[in-house]
Amino acid sequence: MAVLAGEREGLILDHIDLVQHAVNQVSSRYPSHVDRGELWNAGALGLVEAAARFREEAGVPFGRYASTRIKGAIIDSTRQRDWAGRAIRRNTRDIRRAEEALTDERGCLPSDPTLAAALGITEEQLRTRRNAAAAASLLHLDYQVDDEDPLAVVVAENHPDCLPEDSLLSRELSGTLHVAVAGLPDPQREVVERYFFGAELLQDIAASLGVTEARTSQICAEALNALRSYFGAVYDGVPQVPADAPGKRSRAAYVATLTTDATWRTRIGAAAAFQQAV
């Protein structure tokens, strides 16, 4: 017969110390990177399940029954999170035990040929097993040796695509550029796209537009001033366009339209759309 809810709570509270006892026993088998707090949480869950499944008529004291369930819950929890596999763990234990035995016997660390011979494997197999164990090891980012920098500093990620804030800013900047170019008047947009994105010569663009190269250069300059004005409205630190630069009225209308219609969301969306198109 199952115990009642009130009795279950009493069993859990009276035997909660079994969880830490089980963690102390089991944790010695695991490397230092395994979080003991997570082991305790798994054991506590095992205790709760033991209280729910306990049957007095089975004739087994709850403490003994719960201890087995708690240890099993901890071991199951670590197996689910262990990406190394049993073979790697077994090989690592065998290497460590053989190394310790030979060290005790000879008074010094054994050489690789000696250790490989004791294990009944080749030196190449020994190196392969060590490399597999190293690849499966996990260190906390705050891991530190003596006065050296912590691991988080040593292996700091610098690639913008892997840093959320930098990646977001980069995408927004890219999207802002594409929104700004797309919002230019047709002649300016065409010149900018063909000259800067298409790498065409100004004289070729001028010939296809039916205007002089000087006029094409002027259109390009007006477009760049418009883009600079818009970027200055969106971001800090952008140099201002000279007040006497040609096209002041059309430039102001262009900036007013974009700042009203475009938000950071639409700019990021523009960047994503461009990447998909590419």
Residue showing tokens 């663009």:
205
The reply to whether CATH 1.20.210.10 applies to domain 86-138 is no
How many Cβ atoms are within 10 Å of 12's Cβ, its own excluded?
A: 18
Query: Model's pTM, two decimal places?
Result: 0.44
> Is the per-residue pLDDT at 145 higher than 70?
no
**CB 150, CB 141: distance < 8 Å:** yes
pLDDT digit string, tens, across residues 163-185: 667 677 778 888 888 889 999 99
**CB 145, CB 154: distance < 8 Å:** no
Helices (H), 54-122: 62-81, 86-106, 112-119
For the chain, the residue count is: 278
The reply to whether CATH 2.60.40.10 applies to domain 5-81 is no
Domain ranges of the chain: 5-81, 86-138, 161-277
Report which residue type is found at 163: L
**CB 93, CB 74: distance < 8 Å:** no
Residue showing tokens 């969306």:
269
> Is the per-residue pLDDT at 1 higher than 50?
no
Out of 38-42, 86-90, 264-268, give the one with best mean pLDDT. Answer: 38-42
Are 86-138 and 161-277 equal in CATH topology? yes
> Is the per-residue pLDDT at 273 higher than 70?
no
> Is the per-residue pLDDT at 258 higher than 50?
yes
- Looking at per-residue pLDDT, the higher value among 78 and 250 belongs to 250
Question: 216 falls in which pLDDT band (50, 70, 90)?
Answer: very high
Determine the CATH number of domain 161-277: 1.20.140
Structure-token pair, residue 274: 């461009």
- Going by C-alpha positions, the residue among 276, 68, 79 that lies closest to residue 175 is 276
Question: 150 falls in which pLDDT band (50, 70, 90)?
Answer: low
pLDDT (mean) for 11-17: 89
- Going by C-alpha positions, the residue among 54, 69, 68, 58 that lies closest to residue 10 is 54
Report which residue type is found at 179: V
